[in-house]
Amino acid sequence: MWVRRHLVKLQDGRCCYCKRPFTKRGATRATIEHRKSLMDGGSDDLSNLAAACFHCNQHRGTQKNQAKQKAQHTIST
């Protein structure tokens, strides 16, 4: 995917969060991250994308899901 290659190049081959250099596989492989998620109205535009390692991408997703669950919980109680 050229977008990912482009982002990785822009970020000097490092994750936008933890700054670890990307590897081909494993937890530090490069993934595309939406700075503003599509669900929050973010776009697929390059300005909204960043390269994050798999670990950070997963971690961020988990945090978001937890926050969401918490919010839903608050509404239901």
Residues in contact with 21: Cβ distance below 8 Å, sequence separation at least 6, in sequence order: 13, 14, 15, 28
The DSSP letter of residue 36 is S
**Minimum CB separation from Zn ion for residue 37, in Å?**
17
14-33: contacts with Zn ion (CB under 5 A): 15, 17-18
Q: Tokens 């490069």 identify what position?
A: 30
Nearer to Zn ion, 50 or 53 (CB): 53
Nearer to Zn ion, 11 or 48 (CB): 11
Which tokens hold the place of 59?
Answer: 């971690």
Binding site for Zn ion (CB under 5 A): 15, 17-18, 53, 56
